[in-house]
Every structure is written in C-alpha cells, then in structure tokens.
Amino acid sequence: MSVIKKQPLAVNGKTQRIRVLAVDDHPIYRDGLAAVLALHSDLELVAEAGDGASALEAYRTHLPDVTLMDLSMPVMGGVEAIAKIVEEFPTARIIALTTFQGDTDIHRALEAGARGYLLKDVLRNEVADAIRAVWRQGWILPDAVARRLAEYVPRVELTDRELEVLQLMAAGLRNKEIAAQIHRTEATVKVHVLHVLSKLQAQDRTEAVVIALKRGIIRLN
C-alpha cells in the first residue's frame, strides 16, 4: 500500500476535494487512475492498495469519500473487501471496477455493498463522473451495466456443489472424472449436471459452460 500526499483544497479554498482510494493489483492501472484523477481539480487520490486486505487497512486509515475497487485481486478479492468495509463502515461509497461483464459479477459486487459498477475500459471522464455521482447521489449504474442486468432475469442460483461441478465441466472433465474429483458417485454427478443444464437453460454441457463463462458464473483457471 502506498499513501499519496494530501493536496490543497479546491479553487475557492472552501470546498474540499472528493478524497479517493484506488484499489487494484496492477500498479500500471493504479498509475492510470492517478493520472486521470490528477486532471480534475475536485478529485484527490489519498491512498492506493494492491489487494483487498490492504484496501481495508487503507480505508480505516484514510476514510476516503469514494473507493475504486478492483474485483479480481490476490490475498482478498474485491467482493470480500467491499463486504468487510461496508460491514465496518455502512456509509462507505465504493465503485466496483472490473474487466468482466457478466451479470453475476455485477450482482456479487452490488450485494456486497458497492454503490456502483464500472468496466475498466470506460473513458477517463466517465470514471471522474462516476466518482462525483456516487459521492453526491450515493450510487451509479451506467446504462450498459443496467442493460446487462436486465438481459438476464431472473437470476440463476446454483448451489456450491453445482458450481463445483460446472467448473470441472469447464475444465473438460467427464462425469466419471468429476465423480472421482468430488468423491461422489457418477449417478450423483449426472443429477448435478442435469440441474445445471436446467437452471442455465442449456441444451448440453458445452452450451452450459459457454453461458456460465459469458455471465461470469465461473472463470477459466
């Protein structure tokens, strides 16, 4: 974690800048965020963190107005970090940042307590506008993200075991191999597979895996 020296107040000397914590495990991306924020006189980067655990520590130390939180990080992922921060600081304003576009990722972040969700490839002005919107209005959900959520209604709820089976299906394992992996009978695995196909409305295993990857339900290792 690196701490950024606090900048002076805004132009009129009365309105304090919106203080931002940037969390991402890629230093180059954090540098990009720092460069974007430096272009706006009403925004101030007060701290950075490279994982969820450091983000929690940085939040406690700096109490930022808005936090930009990557979802995929080592040590502690973004969703878990969001949940822990919000549990300790219920009014925390956190914007989830990710390269993934699956509706499952969006739901996980919002359910953890995120006030907004942005894809990392948005234009730099959109990041600044999102920070202002979350600070002033309490939330931000871009049209593209809202459409993504609306595209998949109702949500798919898979059990932990079904998710495990689906992940092994994505790895190319057949039912017999999956059974050996999870220490269950092949018949039990077949039932899990049927449930997965039904819930994802897929015709076969390949389609189920494609749908799950598209929606962010599973990830390829």
pLDDT value for 11: 44
Please name which of 185, 213, 187 lies closest in space to residue 200, comparing C-alpha atoms: 213
DSSP 116: E
Strands 116-119 and 66-70: unpaired
pLDDT value for 119: 82
Which H or E run contains 96? strand 94-98
Q: Classify domain 2-151 by CATH number.
A: 3.40.50.2300
DSSP 140: B
Alpha helix (H) residue ranges in 39-185 = 52-62, 78-88, 103-112, 124-137, 143-151, 160-170, 175-182
Please state which CATH class domain 160-215 belongs to: mainly alpha
Task: Return per-residue pLDDT of the chain as tens, 221 residues.
Answer: 443 433 444 444 556 789 999 999 999 999 999 999 999 999 999 999 999 999 999 999 999 999 999 988 888 999 999 999 999 999 999 999 887 666 677 778 888 899 988 888 776 778 999 999 999 988 887 666 666 665 655 567 888 899 899 989 988 899 999 999 999 999 999 999 999 888 888 888 888 888 887 777 777 76
DSSP 218: S
Provide the residue ranges of all domains of the chain, joining segments of one domain with +: 2-151, 160-215
pLDDT value for 150: 57
Tokens 């000397």: give the residue: 13
pLDDT value for 152: 57
